[in-house]
Amino acid sequence: MSDEPIVRRPPAPIPVTIITGFLGAGKTTLLNRLLQDPALARTVVLINEFGEIGLDHLFVEKIDGDMVMMASGCLCCTLRGDLVDALENLLRRLDNGRIGQFDRLVIETTGLADPAPVLHTIMSHPYLLLRFRLDGVVTVVDAINGEATLAAHPEAVRQVAVADRLVLSKCDLVASMGLEQTFARLRERLSLLNPTARLIDRPESFDAKHLLDAGLFNPATKTPDVARWLNAEALEGAQHKHGHDHGHDRDDVNRHGESIRAFCLTSETPMPPSACDLFLEILRNAHGPRLLRVKGIIALADDPGRPLIIHGVQHIFHPPARLDAWPDADRKTRIVFIVQDLSPHFIQGLYDAFAGMPGVDRPDALAITENPLKPAPRGLLA
C-alpha cells in the first residue's frame, strides 16, 4: 500500500437552474413538463407549495414532510422559510446519506419575485458557493398577456432581463384569438430587453435539452464554451436589425419607454489585473443596482494567454476565474451588460480609462474614478 496521504477533494459544484416568471405566465405547466422528462432523474426541485403546482399525479412516494419522489426519479421539496436554510438542509441530507446523490437543482420562484435575491444567494454565500454553481435562469412569459404585464410590472421586466432562456407560453392561443400583432410586439420587446437570451416558443422544446445547461461549460465536452454562453452575436444582430428598422441611435431608449438596455463591450487591449479589479469594484459600488446582469471574458496584461471570466447580478459578482487558455481564436475582451438607467458610453469610457488606452478623451468617465461612490454626473445616466 502507498504511504501517500489520501487527498479528499470536494465534489464538483451542482448546477442550479432558476425558473421564474410573472403570475399566470405558465410556470406550473412548464414545471410539470420538466418533471416528466427522464433527463431530470437525479434532480432536486425546490418549489413553494406542492398544492400550487398540482403534481399529485406525478407523486411516487413521500419521503418526509416536505420531500417527495417523482415518477421521473427526481426529488421535489417545498421551499419553506429562508432559502439559505433550505439549501443547507438539503446538503446535510445529501452528506448524511438521507437522500441519494443528485446532479442538478431547480428552484422555482414565486410569480411576484425579483429573481436577483435568489441569484445573490447562490453566487455569494461562502458555503453554497462551494457546493452549487449557477447554470442559468429560465423566465416564462405569457404570449397573450406578456406585453401588458411588462408594461405594468417592473418585476416582470427584471425577470426577462436576467434570463438565459425565455419561454413563451400559450403560443397556441395567439392565432385563435387574433393576437398576431400583439405577439409580434411582445417578441420585439423581449429581443430589445434581452437579445442574448435564447427564445423558446414551441411546446415540444419545453424540455431539459433546450432549457438547461445554459452555463459557461459545455455539458458534453466539459470545456468552456464562451461564445454560446455570452451569445454576443445575437446581441449584435438585434442591434443591427433595430437600427435598420427604426433609424434611431441605439442608445435612445426613451422611444420605447424602456430604461433597460443590453450591449457588448469589446476591447483588443489587455487590461492590467489591478485596473480590472478597480473597474469592476467601481461598477459594483457606485452602480450595482443598475447592473442587472454582467458576464464576460477579459484579456489581462499579466498573462494574455489566460483570460478572466466574470459573472455578476447587480452588486454581487461570482468570484472571477482564470481559464487555462482561450477557448477559441477570438482573444479580445467581450463583456455583455444588461443595465437599467446606465449609459453604455459611460461604461465604455470607464473601461477605456482603466485600460490606459491612449488618446481616449472621456473626462466624464475619469471623474467617476476619483469618487466611485459619488453619483454619476448629469448626462451620463439615461
Q: Encode burial over 82-120: b for 16+ CB neighbours within 10 A, e otherwise.
A: ebeebbeebbebbeeeebeebebbbbbbbbebbbbebbe
Residue 295 CB contacts under 8 Å (≥ 6 apart), including other chains: 229, 230, 310, 311, 312, 335, 336
**Exposure of 60 in the CB half-sphere (CA atoms within 13 A):** 10
The per-residue pLDDT for 51 is 58
Percent of the chain with pLDDT over 70: 80
- Residue 5's pLDDT band, with cuts at 50, 70 and 90, is low
pLDDT of residue 74: 84
Is residue 369 over pLDDT 70?
Answer: no
pLDDT at 366: 35
Residue 375 has pLDDT above 80, yes or no: no
Q: Which residue has the higher pLDDT, 36 or 63?
A: 36
- The CATH homologous superfamily to which domain 14-211 belongs is P-loop containing nucleotide triphosphate hydrolases (3.40.50.300)
Grid cell, residue 325, equals 487558455
Q: Is the pLDDT of residue 106 over 50?
A: yes
On whether the CB atoms of residues 305 and 287 are closer than 8 A, the answer is no
What residue ranges do the domains of the chain occupy? 14-211, 251-370
Pairwise CA distance, residues 189 & 248, whole Å: 16
Residue 176 is predicted with a pLDDT of 93
pLDDT at 288 over 50: yes
**Structural class in CATH, domain 251-370:** alpha beta
Q: Which of 9-18, 196-205, 239-248 has the lowest mean pLDDT?
A: 239-248
Give the whole-angstrom CA distance, residue 105 versus residue 281.
Answer: 30
Please name which of 223, 249, 245 lies closest in space to residue 309, comparing C-alpha atoms.
223
pLDDT, tens only, 108-156: 988 777 899 999 999 999 999 999 999 999 999 999 999 999 999 999 9
What digits encode the pLDDT tens for the residues 230-275?
A: 998 888 776 666 554 444 444 444 334 468 999 999 999 999 999 9
Cα torsion through 220, 222, 223, 228, rounded to 10? 50
Q: Give the number of C-alpha atoms closer than 13 A to the C-alpha of residue 235, restricted to the C-beta side.
A: 23
The mean per-residue pLDDT over the stretch 174-196 comes to 95
108 Cα distance to chain centroid: 14
| pLDDT class of 2 with cuts at 50, 70, 90 | low
Helix (H) or strand (E) holding 88: helix 83-95
Burial (CB count <10 Å: 0-12, 13-18, 19+), residue 350: buried
Taking 80 as the threshold, does the pLDDT of residue 360 lie above it?
no
What is this structure's pTM? 0.85
